[in-house]
Structure 1
Amino acid sequence: MSLGLIGLGRMGGNMRERWHAAGIDVVGYDVNPDVSDATDLADLVGRLEAPRTVWLMLPVQFIDGTLEQLLPLLAEGDVVVDGGNSKYTDDQRRAAAAAEHGVRFVDCGVSGGVWGRADGYALMVGGEDEVVAGLMPYFEALKPAGEYGFVHAGPVGAGHFSKMVHNGIEYAMMQAYAEGWELLEATDLVTDVPEVFRSWREGSVVKSWLLDLIDNALTADPDLSEIRGYAEDSGEGRWTVQAGIDLGVPTPAISSSLYARFTSRQDDSPAMKMVAALRNQFGGHAVLPEDD
């Protein structure tokens, strides 16, 4: 089997290695010639046997531009898989554009980060039954060994919607762990916070892979003094909150975790300036001056 892969960054490059290990021939293209197999998109398509499967592993801002160049090079019966963190509302539009060229479109949410190469990737797929069935060897090579790690979630868009909710849940879990860590650090009663987190890795109802990663981080930097308290959001947290609004589903924990990331980007929160001013007005609480 052969597969075209566009995007050989942290995720795509590791996925290529996992496919190679499963005996799948991958022709990769990346704007970085040092990691690219093909010289351009036309070269990539020309090196694949029909019917072709081309997997996109790109940041969302490059998906549409790449499809505009790629689709005219493909033929009827070929398949494009979008494995990036695309917004589910874009999938139907892209599937329609692909259909104009006789090309089928599948969306695949991929979770696993830099650990996926060794441990496997969780895959959430949207697309027609027949098309997804034909792609199963590629999915089987990526997923972890065992029963779980793959789901055909529904028609086009279902994969990215599932991945969006997955990431929204991830936001809330990360925030809960972070708040618990800060609370443990704030008390004089607990003298070894990293060891408390480490103890939760077995037998605890809050054990998880995220908790394992926290242990890794605290082992390397026990008080996280080398890390700035700043966190970006990938966009999927925002989309999850918006989907909750659109569907009338309350998502207070996910929403709170998203807003916490916004707060982390403020050196001096304007909202907290107002809180401090109000506390001074009604309670005479001290107002700290700004740093020079």
Structure 2
Amino acid sequence: MQMGMIGLGRMGGNMVRRLREGGHKIVGFDMNPDSDRDVASLEELVAALQPPRTVWVMVPSGEPTEAVITQLGNLLDAGDIVVDGGNSHYTDDTRHASELKRNGIDFLDAGVSGGVWGAERGYALMVGGEERVYRKVLPIFETLKPQGEHGLVLAGPVGGGHFAKMVHNGIEYGMMQAFGEGFATMMRSEYITDPAATMTSWCDGSVVASWLLDLFENATEHDHTLAGMPPVANESGEARWMVEAALELGVPTPATAAALWQRQTSRGGADDILRVVTALRAQFGGHVTKVDEIATH
């Protein structure tokens, strides 16, 4: 197929490489003039593609995605297809599809997982939209996905792809939190002499074996205690969206919520909260916590 790719960062650039190796003709555009872009504007990208066109948007969610999709709505023709492969909120997809449909332009939302390893390993793709539109882009999806029968799904109507990716990332938060808690527990135990080696022994034969555990092995290869890693983890939004959606649907999600709160705490936002807790414990119970006591525990 021929396709335009908007956004040539760590994800988009690697996806272009995999698609070109798979025989597709990709026209790439990025706002950064130092990127490996083929054209210097959205107008040039649209002009370089033969109709009916397929354009994949791989830019940050929020205002960047809004701006690009609005521009494409004015540049593309009826019968063209826009694929939003970023991490947009699933409710935005319905609005984007409706706005594009006024000009006869079709829309798909695609949740993409694979990170910087996707160019070699392939990407897990969760797509939302009409099946007739999905079928038109299927050669692209088949090239991006890993080899084998899994890694690609038409998850549901418009919004389904990003909803699935949101849940996927919420699960990911919980899994990483569990691995971190297990590692920390072994780090403080006199019974485990090498927590990193113990965890990486689970990479084969264990029921908790996973790619995340393989990545843990990579991370601890030269830093067994991870002492050089800052204890701060940002949250990109998807787990928060999942907890909000789960609350609306009446689904309890304690593991995902706990992992989300832990990330927010790591960024320092809880310092003032804990100062209040410590001050109140001192007021009603005489519990005095000294800084040097904290340092020794």
TM-score when scaled to structure 1? 0.96
Alignment of 1:109-258 (within 5 A): 109-258=111-260
Q: Aligned equivalents of 1:220 and 1:45: distance in 2?
A: 47
Q: Deviations over 1:28-71 (max 9, x none)?
A: 00011222111100000000011000000010021111112121
Matched, 1:43 2:65: no
Partner of residue 82, structure 2? 80
| Aligned 8 A contact 1:108 1:124 in 2 | yes
Q: Deviations over 1:72-102 (max 9, x none)?
A: 1100100000000010000000001110111
How far did residue 282 of structure 1 move?
5.3
Q: Aligned equivalents of 2:183 and 2:291: distance in 1?
A: 29
Q: Quick one: percent identity of the two aligned structures?
A: 52
Residue aligned with 1:200, SS: helix
How far did residue 276 of structure 1 move?
2.9
Instruction: Could you tell me which runs of 5 or more consecutive residues in structure 1 were left unpaired when the two chains were aligned.
Output: none
Give the AA of the match of 1:203.
Answer: G
Q: Deviations over 1:199-225 (max 9, x none)?
A: 010111111111111111111321111
Q: Aligned equivalents of 2:191 and 2:284: distance in 1?
A: 33
Instruction: Could you tell me which runs of 5 or more consecutive residues in structure 2 were left unpaired when the two chains were aligned.
Output: none
Q: Aligned equivalents of 1:213 and 1:97: distance in 2?
A: 41
Residue aligned with 2:187, SS: helix
Q: Aligned equivalents of 1:223 and 1:81: distance in 2?
A: 42
Partner of residue 8, structure 1? 8
| Aligned 8 A contact 1:10 1:114 in 2 | yes
CA-based RMSD of the aligned residues comes to 1.5
Q: Aligned equivalents of 2:286 and 2:256: distance in 1?
A: 35
Partner of residue 103, structure 2? 101
Change (3 A) 1:267 1:60: closer
Give the AA of the match of 2:274.
Answer: M
How far did residue 271 of structure 1 move?
2.6
Alignment of 1:12-91 (within 5 A): 12-34=12-34, 35-61=36-62, 62-91=64-93
Q: Aligned equivalents of 1:272 and 1:288: distance in 2?
A: 13
Change (3 A) 1:135 1:267: closer
How far did residue 268 of structure 1 move?
6.5
Q: Aligned equivalents of 1:277 and 1:187: distance in 2?
A: 31
Residue aligned with 2:28, SS: strand
| Aligned 8 A contact 1:277 1:287 in 2 | no
TM-score when scaled to structure 2? 0.94
